[in-house]
Structure 1
């Protein structure tokens, strides 16, 4: 044991660990530049091996303090150096396990206390008809270079559900391929925040999309479903309530009557549950696959997908979830072992203990140009016992109740602001305190009598 400690606390080990640390940081920088922040987090910053490396460095610094008796007054600068690194590592640990970052979007003349996480999570809602429970995984970081894992275990009403990753698809995109003995799919398009979302429902199945239940010739349909089937060689649909539509082909408006099987209007826009939806087309003899699109430098945060398997009792099912950092897609649904499960992969909603009201968003441009020079958010902080105003801009951060709000971006139509939120008071405080000790140690090393600089000055005098 003593021999092991001597190796762990040796100067040679210190040098090796610091070299490995430097190489890891350099590699992470190149990985982030080529493959994105999430891949860098998955392979380096949030990887277990990197945490072990940091832990070994911490033990090495602590051991060196005792081994070389750095508690003495003569060695105060060196002691401060070691103590500073230990405190900085402690601060990074607090940030890693307790802190988080999020984004908050607010439109003018509206208040919000809701933000979405920067990191991705696997979120599940489980129910059996009488009891419902919500579950969320630890943050999930996926790498384009591989080495991805998701292993989760959940217990619901004495039933165990195992979740495992089968496949990760970066820049995910649906692709229908022709085949002689393929399946039939209905292509549905949803407009979400001015973004197009494509969905494909296989014949004989039932899906819930944005809270809209759709049964495509499925035996498990309910009265609340939009039921689509073939009648007299014509694709028809029955809607649970009267639904208006505008046909882009016929250039006219009409409606689907309630609980009546009528011809389905393709490429017609309807609004169901406040969601714009288009039944685009039905394709037969197709094989549906999810592929990775080519990298597009114009798209900074492309949507990804994960295929996971769920095992409970004697049943095993697979499901593919689109999402990733910054995406909060609607839940997808499956039934397994008598459990109704809603699943989602991506950012999760986080509530603030107070609200922020956006009074005014100001965007300034360079003279004679459309390029923005600065933008400001005039906000009102609303909580139970007080209300106060604040202006957030690039170098003016709002600090309130342990949260830091930064001016990050704005909505494309300039109708609101996007704030970056950091919740890491103790991690930030601890790390900055470590930096202060490190600066003090550097300063003392220049004038301390027992330091190399001090001895050199003594010889010169």
Structure 2
């Protein structure tokens, strides 16, 4: 019985249908890959147990077939055995590459520190159960939105969306059994027929972040007062008093000389109207809303302090400099030398009080639950009672604001929802379901808490990262162009490999089709950004030396075996009949 089984395993009767099945699978996988991508094909086919079993059966068929022809005498039998052995070695090498190989991308910049984490294909789902048991699993997202696997622990993976946004809403928190905290909230609807827009916004006294919402240059705000008959409430419903002075802010000049530090505060508006001729710091010009026009000339887009900037002239015995100082913190001053030497020990900052929006719509809520509104625009000021379902024109183009809902005891609800509008930029999210049927969207890269009767479940859907045993830094990125044109000839990443465990720091150059290797890791040039030459993306691939050697050895055995089978006998015959030298 065993003899017949072994003969069948090593027979051509098994080899032909087995090879036919494998070839058909490979052809189908090629077409399937064009539809779902290489990651899905790797997980569903090449890394699947059933495909591994087929390849193992093929290797077993080849091994038994070769062993049954032992002893291997003669060129044909030796070549036959070497060819079969080579194919077996190639199968083993391919399996090692599929299951042990790692490939990922590493974006680097010249102005950032070294990195030791690469982004590999696929996503990761981590789940912490109420019993503090941590579960991790790779998640595969197909192009049609289906998810694999379907179950991780006690969570079912229901679906996926590549574009979701977070929404915040408020519901009534008071129930018959629960007296909630007084927290007025409203739901407003803003509609513009001219722009074809309808917006919905929630406002609530608490949390403070939701008491004021910006709508372009305008603001929506909710304010709670005791009464509107006196005090703050009465003031809010009254037209605002005009200010005589515009809060343009001030310039703070700090001079450091030896062991002394002098500070001077200059009011911009006052300095423009009158300043001493011998002043060391002169205010030359001011722009409330700084812009550069089509001719690259400095101008202001409006009289509102949206992007204030001031031009200064700083004079010392050593030289004269021109300064442009901006009101926004993320814009550093721009300075240039007019005459003399560059000035040292001088620091200038722009201090400005944030300007309240001129366009606003305020909802005023009294302690007794009465609702009022106060609206201001370029057309003027208006106020009055605010009723549910009654539209109010704040004076912003043709916008109409309607109070759709008043919630005396607002309870905040945060929700992630999929968005199908391509103009709205969101984040990917995974839809999961618990055993009780609770469905929750897990935003990409963010931990989420799921409340269940048995306790809290913590889940995180995030990119799959792999930590390298070393770090890589981008020292420089060089683009070489063809002579006489702007076409790119070659680009090179000058990298630095930092291996603190082995006390190694190595400089390498990587360019297209010229990778470098370090401890079994292949580092190759993947892509670059023509608009940002400080950025480069490397492909990091783990190919252990023994895996590479296995593949090359198998290929060499196959070539040697085929050569011996077809040419071995003829070569041997020629060598036997070669005349001996006298």
The answer on 1:398 being equivalent to 2:516 is: yes
Using a 3 Å threshold, how does the CA distance of structure 1 residues 457 and 254 change in structure 2: closer, same or farther? farther
Task: Quote the residue 1:162 is aligned against.
Answer: 154
* Equivalent residue in structure 2 for 1:430, among 518, 525, 550: 550
- 2:479 is matched with 363
Query: Contact 2:515 / 2:523 at 8 angstroms: preserved in 1?
Result: yes
1:399-440 deviations in whole A, cap 9, x for unaligned?
Answer: 112211110012452321111111131433322222222232
Residue of structure 2 aligned with 1:344, choices 439, 461, 465: 461
Counterpart contact for 1:31–1:39, Cα < 8 Å: no
Q: Does 1:76 align with 2:78?
A: yes
Cα distance change, pair 361–146 in 1 and its aligned pair in 2 (3 A): closer
Structure 2: gaps of 5 or more residues: 175-182, 189-201, 219-303, 307-353, 357-362, 366-401, 406-414
CA contact (8 A) 2:104 2:540 kept: yes
Return closer, same or farther for 1:395/1:288 CA change in 2, 3 Å cut-off. closer
Are residues 62 and 414 of structure 1, via their aligned partners in 2, closer, same or farther at CA, if it must alter by over 3 Å? same
- Map of 2:269 onto structure 1: none
Once the two structures are superposed, residues 226-247 of structure 1 have per-residue CA deviations (whole angstroms, 9 ceiling, x without a partner) of xx97249661364578999976
Which of 364, 368, 377 pairs up with 2:493? Answer: 377
Instruction: From the superposition, tell whether residues 140 and 124 of structure 1 become closer, same or farther in structure 2 (CA, over 3 Å).
Output: closer
1:371–1:83 CA distance, 2 compared to 1 (3 A): same
CA distance in 1, matches of 2:504, 2:56: 44
| Equivalent runs, 1:5-154 vs 2, <5 Å | 5-69=6-70, 71-72=72-73, 74=75, 75-124=77-126, 126=128, 135-137=135-137, 139-144=138-143, 149-152=148-151
Query: Contact conserved, 1:44 with 1:50, CA < 8 A, in 2?
Result: yes
Contact 1:103 1:116 in 2 (8 A): yes
1:381, distance to aligned residue in structure 2 (A): 1.3
What residue number does 1:420 align with?
Answer: 539
Say if 1:141 and 1:101 are closer, same or farther in 2 by CA, change over 3 A: same
Given the alignment, which residue of 426, 429, 433 partners 1:309? Answer: 433
Aligned length: 364
Normalization by structure 1: what TM-score? 0.65
Q: Which has the larger radius of gyration?
A: 2
**CA positional deviation for 1:334:** 2.2
Distance 1:357 1:102, change over 3 A: same
What runs of 5+ residues in structure 1 fail to find an aligned partner?
154-160, 175-197, 205-215, 220-227, 256-260, 264-281, 295-301, 324-328
CA contact (8 A) 1:121 1:136 kept: no
Deviation of 1:395 after TM superposition, in Å, equals 2.0
Structure 1 residues 378 and 51 mapped into 2: Cα distance closer, same or farther (>3 Å)? Answer: same
Distance 2:173 2:509 in 1: 54
Question: Secondary structure of the equivalent of 1:69?
Answer: coil
Structure 1 residue 148 displacement after superposition: 5.7
- Deviates most, 39-48 or 234-243: 234-243
**Alpha-carbon distance, 1:146 to partner:** 9.1
**CA distance 1:240–1:230, change in 2 (3 Å):** closer
Paired residues for 1:130-279 under 5 Å: 135-137=135-137, 139-144=138-143, 149-152=148-151, 161-167=153-159, 169=160, 172=161, 198-201=164-167, 203=169, 230-231=185-186, 235-236=203-204, 238=206, 248-250=216-218
Determine the C-alpha separation between the residues in 2 that align with 1:353 and 1:307: 34
CA distance in structure 2 between the aligned counterparts of 1:244 and 1:420, rounded to whole angstroms: 46
C-alpha root-mean-square deviation of aligned residues, in Å?
A: 4.4
